Structure 1
Amino acid sequence: MSKRHSAKHKLDRRMGENIWGRPKSPVNKREYGPGQHGQRRKGKVSDFGLQLRAKQKLKGYYGDVTEKQFKKAYVEASRMKGDTSQNLIGLLERRLDAIVYRAKFAPTIWSARQLVSHGHVRVNGVKCNIASRLVKIGDVIELGPKASEMALVLEAQSLSERDVPDYVAQESASKVSFVRVPTLDEVPYPVKMEPNLVVEFYSR
């Protein structure tokens, strides 16, 4: 399992939203922030504050991607043709750990990253331990023989709180293929994500 259990819950409470849509989230019980000042009335948030919050939420959703990696994704998205915010979502969804999470091979994005880094995932038949690797359209992602029997994987596959999205085609319980780069509307976020505010944050 991922060792960032409390940190995941802390992020939920800081944002006041159940970011991953999990039933164990503390936000389901109390929506105020953590700490002794969590219940204080919140003042009006500035434009910068809204942009920063949108960035922290999106970055946190993908397992607290490092600032360096996240900004690199934004720069690449801004160089591509089309809407930068849509391009950013497309790049984040093409990450190998994100695909492993979407395929329900792991219960959380953190455990998906762990599964990849421990060498339990193969891309087109070749073992890959780089969680940030960008998957291409048509790539086949599958679990190694040992991983299919892991309690972590079996737990993830039994979860009823989320389904495998259309852009990840399920070929078997331990094998999927990446069909297409999704748009923002297609990504099954449990909460509203605002990549346009993230773009505004970096383009200041």
Structure 2
Amino acid sequence: MGDSVRRQHYTQGHAATVSLPYPPGPGASAGGRAGAKLGGLITPAFAKLLRTREIIVIDQRGTGGSHPLPCDINEPLALDPDAYQAAMVPQVKACADSLDIDPEFFGSLSAVHDIDALRAALGREKINLWGGSYGTRLALLYAAEFPDHARSLILDSVTPPSLPIHLTKAQSQDRAFQLLLSDCAASPRCKTAYGDIAQTMTPY
């Protein structure tokens, strides 16, 4: 399967359903060249699952071993979506113009069609899909595009297709931090243990 797909077999003898873990991102490889870290990271985490299932990891187009598209971009920490977009758009456009591909064929929809092509090549009628962060978006898109082939979805930290991930990322992080501060302020045990978090936490 080359560098872009990695297959981890189940250990028991009965039929297995393929499980396809999706990485966060977008832009992250599924473990570095499609699971180079599979033995050290995924195998322990999914030890019980591997008793009855096999796991397939695949590098999405443009990542890892699947025609990687490097972009040297400085992402701003901007709470204002307009300011974020103003800083990012010129960088992304410059990178896209420098690449040897048509970006139209490296989007999320192309990725889910690749997943279904892999499912068909493996001879599986249905697959289970697991995703975290951006990976949940791919899983949701796959289920919408190929409902007859998605047996189940396991979604962690959902980012639905309607959510502009990067435009709202800084706002979401700030909101989470403010909730942490208010929760700790309301908890005597937290205040005793950590004091004034807002004053002691190192800015990032």
Normalised by the length of structure 2, the TM-score is: 0.27
Greater RCO structure (CA 8 Å; 6+ sep): 1
Normalised by the length of structure 1, the TM-score is: 0.27
Tell me which protein shows more strand as a share of its residues.
2
Which is higher, the Rg of structure 1 or of structure 2? 2
